[in-house]
Amino acid sequence: MKNNSFDMSKGVDWTLVGVYLVLVLTGIASIFATTYRDENIITGFLSFKTDYSRQLLYFFLSAVLAVFILLMDSKFFTATSNILYFAGLILLILVFPFHTDVKGTKSIIRFSGFQLQPAELCKVFVNLALAKYLSSTDLNFRKLRSQLVAACLVLVPAVLTILQSETGLALVYFSFFLVMYREGLPSAVLVIGFSIAMLVVMTLLIDQNVLAIILSLGAIGFIYGLQRLIKRNKSVLVLIISIWAIAVGIQRFAVPYFFNNVLKPYQVQRIYATVGKDFQVDTESMSEEDIKKMEDKKKAGNYNVKQSKIAIGSGGFWGKGLMKGTQTRYDFVPEQRTDFIFCTIGEGFGFVGSIALLGLYLFMLFRIIHMAERQRSVFSRTYAYGVASVFFFHVFINVGMTIGIIPVIGITLPFMSYGGTSLITFSILLFILIRLDADRQMVLR
């Protein structure tokens, strides 16, 4: 600190810090509500053996890290972002030889009692690296090449994460496309991406042949409607036909191929379960063990969602009150302190509490966007958008999956879910933003 008058708190966005504290404390209260079992509360909190006390410990760790980050110079992040990115990649790769098997995931390294999930932590580094890349002075993001480089920055860790059987965490990286969109990625990319997503959903919902007929009829309708245009310009016809061909190709061949050969059967079944269908897997080529595993996973997935819906649904309008929820108190919802922590709020505080919590998250997201737009440096702005996108993705997917509108992919609810890596990662992510925002007058490169 060269400047003696340096004030750590100068320029800090206290609103965001306040929201952060509220969310973390609500999270600890929720974990307490689900895991407290009549032990002495004081020793329970001090022993660091109970989940809520451990989460409290992680919170203290996060706070220390936060102070540490706030004490740092903003330039540190621009300067080290690339190094950190590669360090993160190495960490991700190190997982392969050194991982510990915990609950079917291969993404965790364990040392001296603590677990680290690099896939979770890597989000920070990817966000920094992406911000660094997008803020480089000689970058023309309209060029396809730069767009591809940005996409690669994001997708490499995503692929590594998928290889660690953490599809959910890998999907988070796709949220960075929202950042790229903000920085000039053509909307067409998003529109096409969205259309393909819609097509995939339609493929799940509608019978293959019927959908093909609908698509064909649509194409014929377009050709008929645009007759005049086509007469003048043959390429319109070619465009329509190729769109039709791609669409039918996706729904008839690409999706089935993807489902049968890329995704694991239990994942396909979870996706189908979300739209309320039972997926019949071709079990002939599978070993008996695999079939059993698949059945177990399918059951577990469906059971989770069913129990979580019961818990949230039984909360009603006002909820049953903290610690009074029968479903979350007595372990009916599996993973209820981690991925399904939202159930505790839904059951204990009902519709009112759930909406309040969602409102708080939405407020936080809007606040971050507001902060992003007041940055002078592209790096800070891009980083802020990255934070917003990651938070948005986590909250939307997590809550969506507990209330059964999105397939169960295990990702956490920011600041609330139990878990050290998750809480610390999100804290770092947020406090770097606060640090950068505090220096918003500075132009960082």
> Which residue ranges make up the site for other proteins (CB under 8 A)?
178, 181-184, 307, 309-317, 326-327, 330-332, 346-347, 350-351, 354-355, 358, 361-362, 365-366, 369, 372-373, 376, 378, 381, 385, 388, 392, 396, 399-400, 403-405, 443
CB 317 to other proteins: min, Å: 5
By beta-carbon proximity to other proteins, the closer residue of 198 and 443 is 443
Compute the distance between CA of residue 20 and CA of residue 8 in angstroms, rounded to an integer.
Answer: 18
By beta-carbon proximity to other proteins, the closer residue of 58 and 176 is 176
Compute the distance between CA of residue 261 and CA of residue 56 in angstroms, rounded to an integer.
Answer: 43
Element (H, E) at 404: none
By beta-carbon proximity to other proteins, the closer residue of 272 and 332 is 332
By beta-carbon proximity to other proteins, the closer residue of 203 and 327 is 327
CB 75 to other proteins: min, Å: 18
Going by the DSSP 8-state scheme, the letter that residue 412 receives in this structure is: P
- From 300, 342, 309, select the one nearest 33 (Cα to Cα): 342
CB 369 to other proteins: min, Å: 6
CB 74 to other proteins: min, Å: 17
CB 355 to other proteins: min, Å: 6
By beta-carbon proximity to other proteins, the closer residue of 151 and 369 is 369
By beta-carbon proximity to other proteins, the closer residue of 169 and 378 is 378
By beta-carbon proximity to other proteins, the closer residue of 226 and 365 is 365
By beta-carbon proximity to other proteins, the closer residue of 27 and 346 is 346
CB 359 to other proteins: min, Å: 8
E strands within 90-193?
Answer: 100-102, 105-111, 114-116
By beta-carbon proximity to other proteins, the closer residue of 382 and 421 is 382
Compute the distance between CA of residue 229 and CA of residue 236 in angstroms, rounded to an integer.
Answer: 7
Q: Is the dihedral of CA 83, 164, 263, 267 positive or negative?
A: negative
CB 109 to other proteins: min, Å: 31
CB 38 to other proteins: min, Å: 9
The vertex-336 CA angle with 331 and 339, nearest 5°, equals 160
Neighbours of 142 (CB within 10 A): 10
- CB within 8 Å of 397: residues ≥ 6 apart: 168, 171, 406, 409, 411
CB 276 within 8 A of CB 305: no
CB 371 to other proteins: min, Å: 11
By beta-carbon proximity to other proteins, the closer residue of 264 and 306 is 306
Rounded to 5 degrees, φ, ψ at 433 are -60, -45
- From 36, 143, 191, 150, select the one nearest 386 (Cα to Cα): 150
Residue linked to tokens 């100068």: 10
CB 156 within 8 A of CB 109: no
Residue linked to tokens 């004030």: 7
DSSP sequence for 48-108: S-SHHHHHHHHHHHHHHHHHHHHHS-HHHHHHHHHHHHHHHHHHHHHHHHH-EEETTEEEE
- Which contacts qualify for 286-293: CB closer than 8 Å, 24 or more apart? 290/265, 293/266
CB 314 to other proteins: min, Å: 3
